Amino acid sequence: MANMAQAIRMALHYAEENLGVTDVFGEDTGAPLGGVFTCTQGLKTAWNSPLDERGIIGCAMGLAFAGQRPVAEIQFVDYIFNTVDLLKLAGNTCWSSNGDWHLPMVVRSPAGSGIRGSIYHSHSFDSWATRLAGWKIVMPSNPLDAYGLLLAACKEENPVLYLEPKALLRIKGEERIPGEPADDKQLSKMIDAPLGDRSQWKPQWPALEAYVVPIGKGKTVREGDALTVVSWGRLLPICVKAADQLKEVGLSVEVIDLRSLWPYDWELVKGSIQKTRRVLFVNEDTEVTNFGEHLARRTTDELFYELWAPPRVLAGKHLPGIGLADPLEMASVPQLKDVLEAMRHAASLQP
Amino acid sequence: MGGRTARAFPGLPPGAGLCLSAPRMSRPQPKLVKTDKAGELPLDRALLVQMHELMVKSRVLEERLIQMYKQGHGYFWIGGPGEEAFNVPLGMLVKKGRGPAYDFLHFHYRQSATLMAMGEDTVGALRQMKNTASDPYSGGRNFAGHFSKSAWNIVPVSSPIEVQYAMAPGTALAQKRHGGDAITIVTGGDAGTAEGDFASCLVWSTRPGNELPVLMVVTHNTWGISTASDTQQANRDISERGRAFGMKTKRINGNDPVESYLELQEAMAYVRKERKPFLLQADVSRLYGHSSASGANFVNAEVDCLAAFEQRLEGAGVLSRAEMDEVRKRWTEHVAAEARQVVQEPPPDGESVWNHVFWEKA
């Protein structure tokens, strides 16, 4: 199976060929590197930009104004912070012009911890992003969803922020992308750029097919009846692992992959909470004014009298950064043991 | 006198002498000849008359907007009185239309005269000042002077003073890819050049082998709100910054509409043909201060480009004082009548805040 970086690359290739994507660009996005995580290797519209994040977002907006379909990349989401007012501007362009303009543009950026990336290669942007009204925000947790969500993003007429959980970019999927060859080695040979001189290399793209994960649609990845756990991105597979472990000791946990943070699949979340009467929201962004808090507040507002326990949020610590040393990172963002403990605790609460 | 043919030009009220409200079919192509009487004004007489009328139209509009603000018919005023001598020629020279075959315009909030010169009706600006539901630029959502018009490639003007410089390379890239002679025009003030986006535009417009057709304009009024520019930026001539990037640059007197027209024509011709950027600094006045926040009162200490131009027109025998007074009277009455109508128009419905958060296919 393809890993997430390959899935993203194949989605961008499909989008170049079939969805009108005109520019895949950012720092080191074009040849020879094809992205620091290899996500843009071999793409015909990929090009390298100046090391200027504001210029990247601004250029994407300009391209979209002029009828192009750009997919811009911010190399690490830690570096998107100096573009926030441009992101705000992109998000309010349709609204402020009373519908006169709209911006079909995608911004991709690797986010979150898990690669021992220290203070400026580990940050999350999930919660910040959800404050950017006018943007659609997605974050896949596996290669097939990465492919499907990116196709959906490239078909969108509005700005889409596509957050890539960087710790999962090298993880292979469990489901095949339509058109992906059966043999992983064959896929690698076809689309992974060789080491060394790449000047003559050209990818051999498989005959990819459309597969769209609609923006705004979550997915129930484990069914259970004692507790609902809602997560996304890097912590989703950790939640699944924890749920599987707890199932072995008789605790039945339902796990929802939100996939889209805005708009989000409230009906799916709500239905699950009404079934289990307990909910835990898990993500790795810092915990104060965390998006999980919004979900917890909405749960309280709408489902208070149906709950058997207060909604819980497990998130990253409210710290200025994520330290490099292993114990520092592990103490900063939720780990498997933290998720297990939070699940057990949430499931144990009684009215 | 040379060039007698009265040109149809846009945006004048019904019944105006030279003016027609029909859209202009092509950009003016004046003969650069000296007139008999207007020896010091090396432009076609009809063009001079047209420029004057558009400057009056713009000035009257801005003064009406200020009046509306002071009468409580708007919460805030910001605009461009004092920049007409530059902004009118700019609008006259724009290749107007939708899409990459036409000029893209990334303006700041002092650009009303450019829109007026492009043929925009005055009533839209009044509606935006009154934040009515009928405001054609933002539906009552944004300040005065914050124009948006996709039909003419005018991207939404926003209050940040620098962001337009970051976006301009994107539209220019699309235009270069498209082919043809359309260019991207981005404008801002001198204070905004302290922001990093100005440097971004310099860098992105001059990538070796990927130079872009961007006309970068800085209208230099020597002020950043209340702060004098010479207390904050050591570079007196902002246009010089372009030279470090190999750009063609020029500093001009933006208070002179004739110089502005000729220099803009030359700069735009270069960008259209060579598909490379040009940095143009136009020194202008700021005649009513930064905005209503600073009182919006007339400033006597700065050159009034319209008064100065009228003196020259009269001296050269292009227009008489009486003719020019008539032009102003006609526009004043026209805009006043529109304002009386606009103040009766309803604001947007509160529920409309949910409209256009996202764009959806009709």
pLDDT digits (tens, 9 = 90+) for B223-262: 999 999 999 999 879 999 999 999 999 999 999 999 999 9
Evaluate if residue B8 carries a pLDDT over 70: no
* Residues of A whose CB is below 8 A from B99: 66-67
Q: Does B160 sit within 8 Å of A98, measured CB to CB?
A: no
Evaluate if residue A217 carries a pLDDT over 60: yes
Question: In chain B, pLDDT over 70 holds for what percent of residues?
Answer: 89
Residue B39: pLDDT band by 50, 70, 90 thresholds? low
Across the interface, of A58, A96, A101, the residue whose CB is closest to B200 is: A58
Residues 6+ apart with CB under 8 A from A299: A269, A273, A279, A307, A311
Q: Is A121 a catalytic residue?
A: yes
* Per-residue confidence (pLDDT) for residue B4, from 0 to 100: 31
Encode pLDDT of A36-95 as tens digits. 999 999 999 999 999 999 999 999 999 999 999 999 999 999 999 999 999 999 999 999
CA B44/CA B47 separation, integer angstroms: 5
* Residues of B whose CB is below 8 A from A20: none
* Residues of B whose CB is below 8 A from A66: 99-100, 104, 170-171, 173-175
The answer, for A44 touching chain B at a CB cutoff of 8 Å, is no
* Rounded average pLDDT over A131-157: 98
Q: Does A58 sit within 8 Å of B167, measured CB to CB?
A: yes
Q: Does A99 sit within 8 Å of B356, measured CB to CB?
A: yes
CA angle at A239 for the pair A238 and A244, rounded to the nearest 5°: 100
Can you list the domains of chain A with their CATH numbers?
A: 4-191 (3.40.50.970), 219-348 (3.40.50.920)
Phi, psi (5° rounding) for residue B252? -130, 170
Mean pLDDT of chain B: 91
| Residue ranges of B 89-148 with Cβ closer than 8 A to chain A | 99-100, 104, 106, 135, 137-139, 141-142, 146, 148
Q: Does A94 sit within 8 Å of B149, measured CB to CB?
A: no
Residues 6+ apart with CB under 8 A from B314: B320, B321, B324
Max CA pair span of chain A: 67
Count residue pairs from A and B with Cβ separation < 8 A. 139
Residue B22: pLDDT band by 50, 70, 90 thresholds? very low
Encode pLDDT of A236-290 as tens digits. 999 999 999 999 999 999 999 999 999 999 999 999 999 999 999 999 999 999 9
The whole-angstrom distance between B357's CA and the closest CA on chain A is 5
Q: Does A158 sit within 8 Å of B171, measured CB to CB?
A: no
* Per-residue confidence (pLDDT) for residue A351, from 0 to 100: 87
Q: Bigger pLDDT: B11 or B160?
A: B160
DSSP code, position B210: -
* Rounded average pLDDT over A163-192: 97
Catalytic residue selected from A121, A123, A318, A345? A121
Most A CBs within 10 A among B127, B200, B216, B352, hence the mutation to make, goes to B200
Phi, psi (5° rounding) for residue A173? -85, 175
Most B CBs within 10 A among A69, A87, A95, A262, hence the mutation to make, goes to A95
Token pair belonging to B79: 């605009």
Q: Does B355 sit within 8 Å of A98, measured CB to CB?
A: yes
* Per-residue confidence (pLDDT) for residue A46, from 0 to 100: 98
Encode pLDDT of B124-181 as tens digits. 999 999 999 999 999 999 999 999 999 999 999 999 999 999 999 999 999 999 999 9
Alpha-helical (H) ranges within B179-243 are 196-205
Across the interface, of A85, A95, A99, the residue whose CB is closest to B160 is: A85
Q: Does B168 sit within 8 Å of A97, measured CB to CB?
A: no
pTM for the model stands at 0.94
